[in-house]
């Protein structure tokens, strides 16, 4: 991953998401709102990139632009060298929303199967994939349960399984653990890291939590609001192998401190 | 468990029923006693209070029949009557039920189709919705005779179809409103999710909007089936019909036979109750099978 300051370009890498001077202005009743301004960013294959910043900094909007759920008003962006919309049509990414958003009328297996049915996998392959991804998120044995029978954390794991089911290379996660309590969140963070190590996906992860961003990512994009822009991209020096205890080490606290300073300098705290 | 059920469900209902009956008997004694007293005066007799009460409950053409008289009348015209008899309430009930079910099916279909059109097309919403609302402000009693007169002119014979159309006219509206709400129930994230899968419009409809609307649909169907019954009865009132519960009410009125009116009325109420219960049962079974109810 690189940005304008040229950080973190040790070896040639395959760029998956490339944004150049990206602008997005929403026309609202109160006049135009500059949601994104001059976003320039490269995300390489296998990166785990966290987007952090106060509300209104455009982190979710940027994720939605990557997913072709919002149309930028200026600049360029490519996903796998295609436009975001072309990438969406090829199902290049899985999206995990803040709310698990499982269908209450479908079992856990049925929910994971939803994208597979839409894409048109054969019945056997659907079963096979459901089994595989539910194992991946530690939900084997819950196939026939309905969402309301599961805890919030388990529901969110099921929604991650749903996003993984069709083997998209990119995982876009919009504050997926924001509504969960800290103990569950720790556990899911640990599991997400393992999952990332096993699948080698490219993950874009929006969060409000500094420890979460530092614990998970290879790169932390610090954003600032009004207009939403990138203040700083911090490359995380922590090793890929990260037990939960790493959060008490001086190295971890040092990175967390840099993120906090970045947020402060980007006027992140005045909103 | 059963004790709780008795206390929480049955007891409140029974209390209300008892109160209604008490009021009803009191009102009957009060309303019917003037005739009793007039008769006694003409015969030059004075009656004790017990005699007055007894008489108010056994008149053949009371102003207000008491519940046990109505029950006796219903018993006489259902269980004790041959099904083919022109005075059997089961026969008349069946005539009305048939029109109700036909109207309910028609109205539900129209309501659902209009809702789909409205949800998927802004033009349809702007052009259909005001007319749907206006349609419900026209008194059905004014409209019913016109429907009955016009349909034979375009070659539709018999009474079933006109009644079913009147019934559907009342029934489609709650279905329409409920389905519009139900089809719009999926929130933005759910619709975005379908977009991330590059789902087609049909897939989004079948896999998201339609299942989301089911709870709303059933709530509307409960109102719809009651409205359909009212429609069928109204369809029998102003049209010179001689068969059906509505016809029984009308004929009872014309021949000054209050017992017949009240018996038909009670049967209509029981029929409505049973129909709503059946829809409610279907709702519970469906939602349970869909995993949306315990």
* Range B219-223 contact pairs with CB under 8 angstroms and sequence separation of 24 or more: B219/B178, B219/B283, B220/B111, B220/B174, B220/B175, B220/B177, B220/B178, B220/B179, B221/B108, B221/B175, B221/B178, B221/B279, B221/B283, B222/B276, B222/B279, B222/B280, B222/B283, B223/B174, B223/B178
In whole angstroms, what is the distance from residue B241 CA to residue B84 CA? 17
CB atoms A117 and B190 under 8 Å: no
Cis upstream peptide for A227 (omega within 30°): yes
Q: How far is CA A115 from the centre of its chain?
A: 19
* Residue position matching structure tokens 């039920």: B97
DSSP assignment letter at B138: S
- Interface pTM, i.e. ipTM: 0.84
C-beta separation of B203 from B191 below 8 A: no
CB atoms B192 and A97 under 8 Å: yes
Q: How far is B278 from chain A (nearest CA, A)?
A: 22
Measured at the alpha carbon of residue B18, what is the angle toward residues B25 and B67, in degrees to the nearest 5? 40
CB atoms B211 and A105 under 8 Å: yes
- Close Cβ partners of B254 (under 8 Å, ≥ 6 residues apart): none
Please report, for chain A, the start and end positions of each structural domain, with discontinuous segments joined by +: 1-92+168-271, 103-167
Q: How far is CA A8 from the centre of its chain?
A: 20
At B187, list the tokens: 């929130």
Q: How far is B116 from chain A (nearest CA, A)?
A: 21
DSSP assignment letter at B6: I
Q: pLDDT tens across B179-201, in order? A: 999 999 998 889 999 999 999 98
| Confidence category of residue B2, pLDDT binned at 50, 70, 90 | low
* Residue position matching structure tokens 């044995």: A141
CB atoms A107 and B291 under 8 Å: yes
In whole angstroms, what is the distance from residue A160 CA to residue A198 CA? 14
- Residue in B with minimal Cα distance to A65: B196
Please choose, from the candidates B164, B120, B172, the residue with its C-alpha nearest in 3D space to the C-alpha of residue B144: B164
Report the residue from B199, B290, B292 with minimal CB separation from A118: B199
| Confidence category of residue B148, pLDDT binned at 50, 70, 90 | confident
Residue range B98-120: mean pLDDT, rounded: 94
Angle formed by the axes of helices B160-183 and B122-135, to 10°? 130
Q: In what order do the strands lie in the sheet with A31-44?
A: A31-44, A15-28, A74-79
Please choose, from the candidates A100, A99, A167, A84, the residue with its C-alpha nearest in 3D space to the C-alpha of residue A133: A167
Give domain B89-289's CATH superfamily. MetI-like (1.10.3720.10)
C-beta separation of A253 from A229 below 8 A: no
Residues 74-103 of A with CB under 8 A from B: 88-89, 91, 93-95, 97-99, 101, 103
Please report, for chain B, the start and end positions of each structural domain, with discontinuous segments joined by +: 2-64, 89-289
Pairing label, strands A229-235, A74-79 = unpaired
Torsion A225-B196-A163-A77 (CA) sign = negative
Residue A173's pLDDT is what? 93
CB atoms B196 and A118 under 8 Å: no
pLDDT along chain A (271 residues), means of 10: 46 81 88 87 92 88 92 90 89 88 92 93 92 88 91 89 89 88 86 87 92 92 88 87 87 90 72 42
Q: How far is CA B27 from the centre of its chain?
A: 26
Residue B240 phi/psi, 5-degree rounding, is 70, 20
Pairing label, strands A202-207, A170-174 = parallel
Q: pLDDT tens across A219-253, in order? A: 999 998 888 888 889 888 888 888 888 888 998 89
Q: pLDDT tens across B50-107, in order? A: 888 888 888 888 888 888 889 988 888 888 877 777 788 888 999 899 999 999 999 9
- Close Cβ partners of B222 (under 8 Å, ≥ 6 residues apart): B276, B279, B280, B283
* Residues in A touching B189 (Cβ below 8 Å): 97-99, 101
In whole angstroms, what is the distance from residue B159 CA to residue B149 CA? 11
CATH architecture of the domain A1-92+168-271 equals: 3-Layer(aba) Sandwich (3.40)
Residue B15's pLDDT is what? 92
Residue range B271-286: mean pLDDT, rounded: 94
Return the half-sphere exposure (C-beta side, CA atoms, 13 A cut-off) of residue A182: 5
C-beta separation of B133 from B282 below 8 A: no
Q: What is the mean pLDDT of chain B?
A: 88
Q: Which of B197, B203, B283 to mutate to test the interface with A (most CBs of A within 10 A)?
A: B197
At B95, list the tokens: 């005539």
- Close Cβ partners of B59 (under 8 Å, ≥ 6 residues apart): B32, B35, B36
């Amino acid at each position: 991953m690189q940005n304008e300051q040229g950080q973190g370009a040790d070896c040639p890498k395959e760029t998956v998401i490339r944004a150049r001077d990206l602008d997005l202005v929403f026309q609202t009743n109160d006049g135009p709102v500059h949601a994104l301004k001059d976003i320039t960013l490269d995300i390489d294959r296998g990166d785990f990139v966290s987007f952090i910043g106060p509300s209104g900094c455009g982190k979710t909007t940027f994720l939605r632009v990557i997913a072709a759920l919002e149309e930028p008003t200026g600049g360029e962006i490519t996903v796998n060298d295609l436009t975001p919309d072309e990438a969406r049509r090829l199902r290049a990414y899985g999206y995990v929303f803040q709310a698990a958003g499982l269908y209450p009328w479908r079992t856990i297996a049925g929910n994971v199967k939803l994208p597979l049915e839409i894409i048109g996998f054969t019945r056997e392959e659907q079963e096979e994939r459901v089994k595989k991804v539910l194992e991946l998120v530690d939900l084997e044995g819950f196939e026939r349960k309905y969402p309301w029978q599961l805890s919030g954390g388990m529901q969110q794991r099921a929604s991650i399984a749903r996003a993984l089911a069709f083997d998209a290379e990119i995982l876009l996660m919009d504050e997926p653990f924001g509504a969960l309590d800290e103990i569950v969140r720790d556990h899911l963070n640990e599991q997400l890291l393992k999952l990332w190590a096993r699948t080698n996906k490219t993950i874009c992860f929006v969060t409000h939590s500094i420890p979460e961003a530092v614990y998970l990512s290879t790169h932390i994009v610090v954003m600032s609001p009004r207009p939403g822009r990138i203040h700083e991209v911090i490359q995380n020096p922590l090793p890929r192998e990260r037990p939960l205890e790493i959060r008490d080490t001086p190295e971890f606290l040092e990175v967390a401190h840099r993120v906090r300073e970045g947020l402060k300098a980007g006027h992140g705290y005045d909103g | 468990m059963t004790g709780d059920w008795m206390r929480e469900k049955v007891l409140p209902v029974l209390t209300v029923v008892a109160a209604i009956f008490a009021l009803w008997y009191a009102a009957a004694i009060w309303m019917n006693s003037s005739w009793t007293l007039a008769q006694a005066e003409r015969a030059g007799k004075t009656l004790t209070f017990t005699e007055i009460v007894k008489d108010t409950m056994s008149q053949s053409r009371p102003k207000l029949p008491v519940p046990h008289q109505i029950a006796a009348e219903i018993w006489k015209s259902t269980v004790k009557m041959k099904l083919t008899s022109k005075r059997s309430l089961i026969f008349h009930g069946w005539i009305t039920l048939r029109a109700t079910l036909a109207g309910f099916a028609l109205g539900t279909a129209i309501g659902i189709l209009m809702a789909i059109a409205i949800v998927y097309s802004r033009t349809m919403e702007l052009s259909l919705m005001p007319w749907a609302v206006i349609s419900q402000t026209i008194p059905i009693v004014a409209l019913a005779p016109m429907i009955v007169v016009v349909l034979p002119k375009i070659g539709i014979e018999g009474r079933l179809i006109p009644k079913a159309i009147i019934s559907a006219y009342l029934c489609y509206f709650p279905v329409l409103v409920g389905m519009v709400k139900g089809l719009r129930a999926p929130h933005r994230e759910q619709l975005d999710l379908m977009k991330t899968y590059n789902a087609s419009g049909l897939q989004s409809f079948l896999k998201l909007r339609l299942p989301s609307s089911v709870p709303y649909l059933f709530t509307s169907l409960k109102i719809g089936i009651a409205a359909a019954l009212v429609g069928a009865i109204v369809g029998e009132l102003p049209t010179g019909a001689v068969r059906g519960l509505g016809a029984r009410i009308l004929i009872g009125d014309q021949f000054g036979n209050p017992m017949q009116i009240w018996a038909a009325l009670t049967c209509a109420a029981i029929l409505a109750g049973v129909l709503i219960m059946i829809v409610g049962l279907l709702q519970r079974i469906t939602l349970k099978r869909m995993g949306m109810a315990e």
